[in-house]
Amino acid sequence: MNIQNFLAQKIYKSIILAGAPVNYQVQIRKSEKLKFGDYQVNGIMTLAKKLQMSPQILVNKILKNVNLNGIVQKIEIIGPCFLNIFLEPKWLSAQIDYALITQNLGITLNQKQTIVVDYSSPNVAKEMHVGHLRSTIIGDAIVRTLEFLGHNVIRANHIGDWGTHFGMMIAFLEKQNMIDCCDIALADLEILYRDAKKAYDEDIDFAKKARSYVVRLQNGDEKCRRLWHKLVDITMKKNQLLYERMSVTLKNQDIMGESFYQSMMEEIISDLKKKNIAVSSQGATVVFLDTHYNKSGDNVGVIIQKKDGGYLYTTTDIACVKYRSETLQADRVIYYIDSRQNKHLTQVWSIARQAGYVKNNIQLEHHMLGMVLGKDGRPFKTRSGDTIKLSDLLDEAVHRATNLILAKNPKISQNDLQNRAEIIGIGSVKYADLSKNRTTDYIFDWDSMLSFKGNTAPYMQYAYTRVLSIFRKSGINIEEEILGSTFLFNEHSVMLGIHLLRFEETIQKVAHEGLPHIMCSYLYDLASIFSQFYENCPIISEKDKNKKTTYLKLSLLTAKTLKIGLHTLGINTIERM
């Protein structure tokens, strides 16, 4: 149960009865300290002023109407009108038992949505680099979270697999006698791309040929299509290996790249013209949006078809959002892209909405991403100033994790070492990214991300193994149900219990806002609260049967919550460290 929402609804009812307007938003949040109860209601003073009522009278009215029998132990009024809610331990205990016997920790979905998540989206003929890290990892965490909650999730890997540069690449492969290139590696493609660009800029005949190949590709010429396919294949095979290595759930069938929408373009242009949304301007087709002006106050317009007939990134995205609404029937579309593309997306959406290409009530959201910076505060690059390839980054993470594990455990078998180094190394890179607010830039720092202290993957993974060891020591199988009922009877068990029950409001918030760092903080707090509980409550040696049952159940729910929580983030756990 989402306790926060549940309480908010109850209080909402009595606040309305006390005279508040129906659109009143109850301000309820978790209390910072145990002595302030479990939840706090704020904002009553402001409401009293609005209603021209004395705060005391308003509070009394609210409390008289609220029905929380059996749920709340007491409600304390602090100052004139702050309400501190203390939940009833018996009720909390029953919620713990319920979470333990139900699937998905007892979380229920109010409204199932079809949600398209656009993420990762690398470009063909280029290796994924550190710039794709955030979109890939954060996007995947949200996909996992939404799926856990029961939504119908459609992964969309909007790869950059179309554009004039493909004509150039194909012409260059031909020039180099490489049209039967089955075994080109992606790294070689990058070099080829650079050389092709050079030839394109320097050799007029080559440039002409390259342009003619763009047209042939568009018209479905067999040879061009075959080569283009090969380029996409080479790129995405390598990327797929990276996805698997990072436990990113994207598969080949999730690729819906720019090329996928090309057949829709011609019709969209003529339709937009027919609807008087697009106009011809100096040979090109342009949409003038009354919301988009440049710095000098001119309405510059968004080009959707160039003079030479070519379509643009914007045109593709218009077709793409239309497809997602009309064909995929999305209720919500979330884009995990760099914040620098915000203007692009708002233009696309505004054109699509004007043209009626998307359902009125569709939620279109750009979940913006800040950048990954080096220690110097500038975009993270290699010493020589090149972008850092994702595969190199992962290799280094695993290498560093190997040393770390060996230092702690020199006798470990080679097999175990490799296994754990992958999980800890890659987990560290992912967690470091996930635990920062996605909207801001962050500094990439190996030492802090691989530390066993603080909000890091190694710390969280270790915390999980510590909980498991309790079960190993007491000879209890974690998969088995522990008989008997929970009874939260002391401060430590109440504190842990209430935090465990906040998992639902946490995960729903993550799903709503697309902010996985909220889950990271929650799990980190859980690990700390569990540590305190463990130090103060003799779980294994406890003689009183009821108390022991409660301790074990809380430990079991902690283990499950940590595992599920980390899993929704895409962080793997191990049994021993």
Binding site for ligand ARG (CB under 6 A): 118, 121, 123, 158, 160, 317, 320, 335, 337
Closest by Cα among 365, 319, 280, 327 to 162: 319
Nearer to ligand ARG, 104 or 123 (CB): 123
Report the alpha-carbon distance of residue 449 to residue 427 in Å, rounded.
9
Torsion of the alpha carbons at 386, 446, 240 and 521, rounded to the nearest 10: -130
> Is the CB of residue 393 less than 8 Å from the CB of residue 429?
yes
286 CB-near residues (< 8 Å, 6+ apart): 278, 279, 280, 301, 302, 303, 304
Report the relative pairing of strands 302-305 and 82-87 from DSSP bridges: unpaired
Nearer to ligand ARG, 135 or 555 (CB): 135
Nearer to ligand ARG, 339 or 448 (CB): 339
201 CB-near residues (< 8 Å, 6+ apart): 207
Nearer to ligand ARG, 156 or 488 (CB): 156
Give me the least distance between CB of 118 and ligand ARG, in Å please: 5
Nearer to ligand ARG, 338 or 525 (CB): 338
> Is the CB of residue 330 less than 8 Å from the CB of residue 352?
no
Give me the least distance between CB of 35 and ligand ARG, in Å please: 48
Residue with tokens 């620098």: 340
Nearer to ligand ARG, 316 or 486 (CB): 316
Nearer to ligand ARG, 160 or 425 (CB): 160
Give me the least distance between CB of 121 and ligand ARG, in Å please: 4
Report the relative pairing of strands 114-118 and 152-156 from DSSP bridges: parallel
The token pair at 25 is: 């938003």
> Is the CB of residue 246 less than 8 Å from the CB of residue 572?
no
> Is the CB of residue 105 less than 8 Å from the CB of residue 560?
yes
Give me the least distance between CB of 348 and ligand ARG, in Å please: 8
The token pair at 412 is: 């470990």
Report the alpha-carbon distance of residue 269 to residue 260 in Å, rounded.
17
